[in-house]
Structures are given as structure tokens and as C-alpha cells.
Amino acid sequence: MPVLKSDTLDELDLQVLCALEIDGRASFSRIGQVLGVSDQTVARRFRRLSAEAGLRVVAVRDAAALGRDQWMLRLRCTPDSATVIADALAKRPDTQWIGLASGGTEIACMTRPRSPGEHDDLLLGKLPRTPSVVEIRAQQLLHRFYGGPTGWSRKFGALTAEQEAALRPGTWPPAGPARLEPEDEPLLAALERDGRASYPELQRATGRSESAVKRRLAALLASGAVYIDVEYHSEVLGHPVAALLWITTSPAAVHSVGEALATHQEVAFAAATAGPSHIVVTAVFPDTAGLYAYLSGPLGRLEGVQHVESMPFLRRVKQLTYQRPR
């Protein structure tokens, strides 16, 4: 796979970022040992990435592993209301990956309901009663081809296969069954704020013993119910342009097209969907010329692709858990 280039981060920055995507709770000393630098150097680079790249390490509940429905929403709004609605959606704990598109009149939003009630409240309650929402289109995610625990920065090729293997947690691949218990909520809430929270901090947040916290977190990560992810601004990696691509294929080609898309260096997320289109993709580019080159080149030439609707983001409002400032 071709190695991507960043204009603003150096090789070590990319290596640290990639290491954290593989194991977000890895100690600075462990990362430094694998990369051949000191733990103080890793700590400095971590602080730089946090300040300049918006780096945050957070826990994510894996809806696919937990067998929970997840939806991509497209909301067409009146021109003067989209920003307000997007900001309100970003404050909800059952949403992620929110972007403004179509000149600021359309919102794209991925749901992450923690219960069936949250899902019904959003799709059947709040949104239909919002007068400024002109149209709601919802497509259920059926199968993830790329994304989730597999991060986009790994496509930069910053780490060798040996370094990736040395950083990968010993519980990989996850071993089920994946499930969450009500008593996990304080632990998850703390990790959703800071995925690198120390065990003493998690002990104080949960009221459980440090050994109990260690065992439960290890079990959650081993089952795949939860994974530790990173969020950051793709702009500092030289890729400020992002777009949702709604792809229609022949039914027999859905899986082969999805698997091929997962290998494309521009693709940060790809999933099969139920609805008018068959696959949804989040892709990132250095500029609009890069978007055009991808649509007319690698994607346009992909066998089985029948139709593509591109939806460039005017502004990304929310990533995993964090509402981005305007």
C-alpha cells in the first residue's frame, strides 16, 4: 500500500499516533521501547499532538460487537437552522461523526445508541418534532468493512509490521461474548472522557477496587465490547477535505466492493448499509482536486460500482465524543 505523506507532522509524530491507534492505553515507556526513543520523548510528542492535532484517547462501545443497531442519518434542514441542530445533536451521548454538508443545509450523523430507548427517542421522537428538519433519511449499518478499532492513520505506513505486532494488545483478536453490565457505566463514562485514565483514577470514578477495575476493563477489551480509540484533526495530517460517499452496487458486488474500499488509502470508514445505497464511506483528501481524482479514478474504476453520491463536509462538528469548536 502506498505510504501517505503529512505536511505538518514528522515521522515520529505519525509513529506515536499510529501506536496509540493500536493500543491507546499503552504506556509511554512501552511505546518508546518499540519506537526506539525515550518515554519522555513520547510524552512530549503526545502533548504536542494533543495541542496541535486535537488528539484525544477515548473508549468506544462497539455497536457491531454488541449486536446493537447503528444508523447513518441524513437530515435536510432549513438554511438558517442546520448549525443549531448539528450542535444540539453533538451534545447528545448517542451520536458521533456529525458533519455539515450541502452548503450548510444538510447534516450527516452516525448514531451510537446505548439502549433501544435512546434510538427510538432520537429517530421517532426528537427529530420528527423539529420543525426546521425538512427531511430525514436513515440507513442502518449492516456490516463494517473498515474503521472502528482499525484506525486510518495506520495507512500512513509509519510502523513496520513488527512494530505493530509488538504494540498490539495480547487480547487481539477479541474473544467474545461481548456484553456490558449496568455496573459498567461509571467505568465507561470515565474512559469516554479519558481513555488513558489511570487505574487509581478509575478506582475513584467507580468506587471499585483497583484490582476489580483492572479485571473488568481487561475483560471488556478482550471481548471487543469496548475498544480504545483516538480522535484527531485530519487537517494536521495534510488532509483537510472530508466527504461522505453513498455508493450503489449490484447486490452480488456489495462485499467485494466493500473489501476493496477498505484497502484504499483515502478511506477512513466503510460499511454496508440498508437503504437506497448499499455502502457508505468516509474519505479524506488533501484538497478538492484529490476528491475529484478519487471519484474519477480508483472509485470510478472499481468493478461493481454503479452510482456514487458525494457529500463533502462543509464543517465537521463532532468526531467520536468531542464537539469541535467553530
Bigger pLDDT: 114 vs 110: 110
Is residue 250 situated within a structural domain? yes
Q: What are the tens digits of pLDDT across the range 74-98?
A: 999 987 888 888 888 888 888 888 9
Is residue 208 situated within a structural domain? no
Q: What are the tens digits of pLDDT across the range 285-313?
A: 999 999 999 999 999 999 999 999 999 99
How far apart CA 276 and CA 248 sit, in angstroms, is 8
Is residue 52 situated within a structural domain? no
Q: Please report which confidence band the pLDDT of residue 115 belongs to, taking 50, 70 and 90 as the band edges.
A: low
Q: Which residues contact 293 (CB under 8 A, 6 or more apart)?
A: none
How far apart CA 146 and CA 280 sit, in angstroms, is 11
Is residue 251 situated within a structural domain? yes
Is residue 46 situated within a structural domain? no
Q: Which residues contact 304 (CB under 8 A, 6 or more apart)?
A: 249, 250, 252, 253, 254, 256, 257
Task: Decide if pLDDT at 165 tops 70.
Answer: yes
Instruction: Count the domains in the chain.
Output: 1
Q: What are the tens digits of pLDDT across the range 232-273?
A: 888 888 889 999 999 999 999 999 999 999 999 999 999 999
Q: Which residues contact 93 (CB under 8 A, 6 or more apart)?
A: 114, 118
Is residue 207 situated within a structural domain? no
Domain residues for 309? Answer: 239-313
Burial class for 149, CB neighbours closer than 10 Å (0-12, 13-18, 19+): buried
Q: Please report which confidence band the pLDDT of residue 27 belongs to, taking 50, 70 and 90 as the band edges.
A: very high
Indicate the DSSP class of residue 235.
G
CATH number for the domain harbouring residue 255: 3.30.70.920
- Going from the C-alpha of 264 to that of each of 184, 283, 324, the distances in angstroms are 37, 9, 27
Torsion of CA 21, 25, 28, 32, to 10 degrees: -50
Residue with cell 499510529: 18
Is residue 262 situated within a structural domain? yes
pLDDT for res 2: 39
In this prediction the pTM is: 0.86
Is residue 60 situated within a structural domain? no
- The CA-based diameter of the chain, rounded to the nearest angstrom, is 57
pLDDT for res 4: 44
Segments in the chain forming alpha helices (H): 11-22, 28-35, 39-52, 63-66, 82-90, 116-120, 161-167, 185-193, 199-206, 210-223, 254-263, 288-296
How far apart CA 66 and CA 181 sit, in angstroms, is 12
pLDDT for res 228: 94
Mean pLDDT of the chain: 88
pLDDT for res 154: 85
Range among 5-9, 62-66, 252-256 with highest mean pLDDT value: 252-256
Q: How far apart are the first and last CA of the chain?
A: 35
Q: Which residues contact 203 (CB under 8 A, 6 or more apart)?
A: 209, 210, 213
Coil, helix or strand at residue 307: strand
Q: What are the tens digits of pLDDT across the range 168-196?
A: 876 555 566 778 999 999 999 999 999 99
